[in-house]
Each structure stands twice: as C-alpha cells, then as structure tokens.
Chain A
Amino acid sequence: GAGVSQTPSNKVTEKGKYVELRCDPISGHTALYWYRQSLGQGPEFLIYFQGTGAADDSGLPNDRFFAVRPEGSVSTLKIQRTERGDSAVYLCASSPSGGGTEAFFGQGTRLTVV
C-alpha cells in the first residue's frame, strides 16, 4: 500500500478482554515499530521489529502486551486482560531499514477500555 495501514481505527473493549491491533507496513520496509500515545503525551516506544524478530521490546509495559510479525510484514500487537489504563492511541511505524532512516507512521488505533 501507499502508507502504513492500521486496523481497526477505533476499538472499544471491556476491561479484562483480549484485543489485537493490526499494522500493515509500507511494502519492503524491514523495520517496524509500535508506539503508544496517551492523551496529552508524546508517543512512547513499545517494540521494534527487524524482519520477523523483535530486536528491542524494552518498551512493553508488562507481560500482558505481546507483538508478532511472523512473515516480516504485517504485525499484530496483542493485549491480554485489558485494563482501563491501556486506553490510548497505538501507533505503528515502518522504515526501510531501521537505524537512521525515516520512520513513516500510520494513523493509529484508538483503544478505549471501559
């Protein structure tokens, strides 16, 4: 596709439920990032993939959060036992190779936990 695509654009879920957020990066981009943006804050790094492997998952807040990228393209961020504090906009970005190259961001998924 022309840009980074994230689905769904909005997700409302009940506390305790499981959710999956999908990111479709720009074709050919090997690096993929997930960020979380809470209201009034800047994006906060969660995890970085280079190809299929998670090269840096130091930003994942706890073991309820998990992400995969099995074929080195589409990635899914998975949140178990959601809590109200997980409510935020989840942003995905991709770049041609990571490192010092520009990252292109999707429009995000707004997650609301009620």
Chain B
Amino acid sequence: AQSVTQPDIHITVSEGASLELRCNYSYGATPYLFWYVQSPGQGLQLLLKYFSGDTLVQGIKGFEAEFKRSQSSFNLRKPSVHWSDAAEYFCAVGALGQGGKLIFGQGTELSVKP
C-alpha cells in the first residue's frame, strides 16, 4: 500500500539551530516527492519538490531536501531556523500516471524557541 510516514509528530528547536524533518515513503512507482508547509489559518504552501535528476533539491525560505532511494526517504533540512519557520510541515508523494493525486504524511509540527 502507498504510504508516507513522518515519524516525528512534534519537534522543538532553538532559533538559529539546524533542522531536519524526516519523511519515509512506500510507493510502488517512481515517486514524485513534495514538502508543504501550513501555517495556522493558511493554506498549504509548496516548499520544494523532487521529480527526477539531482537528488538534492533546493526550495524556498532556505529549505532543502535529499531524495535517498535506497532508504525510501526524503528528509527536509534547514541550516539555521528562524522563528517564522514555526508551522506544520507535510511530506507528500505522487507518481506519474496518478494524475497528480498526492498521499500526505500526518505532518510534523515545528516549534521554535527564542
């Protein structure tokens, strides 16, 4: 069955510290992978996406993610977190032939300490 797992429900980091949010997927086809961010009362905003090619992808707001096929992972990273990064982060997977339908993880809530 297709699934996305985000093992960490809630993470707290200090402002300026580095961040890594984990995402593992189970998908039969070659996956397309996405990270979205959702702030309270806001819609989902795309941070970055991987379709093919270079496995290290750069996104907006200083985020990056690395696709590791052997580990079925697509972890999100940021070298220095800002207070404004506090939000809910969702990993999602889709595939060619699925029409853009996405399977989402349950999300990781990020809190940032001053």
Contacts and interface: CB of A to CB of B under 8 A. Distances in A.
> When A and B form their complex, which 4 residue pairs have the shortest distance between CB atoms, in order from nearest?
A42-B104, A105-B44, A98-B100, A107-B43
Nearest to B46: A102
Interface string A66-110: 000000000000000000000000010101001111111111100
A14 interface: no
A41 interface: yes
A102 B49 contact: yes
B39 to A, nearest CB: 11
A31 B43 contact: no
B90 A100 contact: no
B44 to A, nearest CB: 4
Interface residues of A, number: 30
Contacts of A20: none
A107 B104 CA distance: 17
Interface of A: 3-4, 31, 33, 35, 40-45, 48, 50, 55-56, 59, 91, 93, 95, 98-108
Contacts of B105: 42
Given A91-B43, A102-B46, A107-B41, A40 B106 contact: yes
Interface residues of B, number: 26
Given A99-B96, A100-B51, A45 B43 contact: no
Given A42-B90, A42-B107, A99 B43 contact: no
Contact of A105 (B43, B51, B101): B43
A107 B43 CA distance: 4
B90 A99 contact: no
B94 to A, nearest CB: 7
B43 A50 contact: no
B87 interface: no
A103 B43 contact: no
A108 B100 contact: no
Nearest to B6: A42
A25 B92 CA distance: 21
Interface string B35-76: 010000111111001010000000000000000000000000
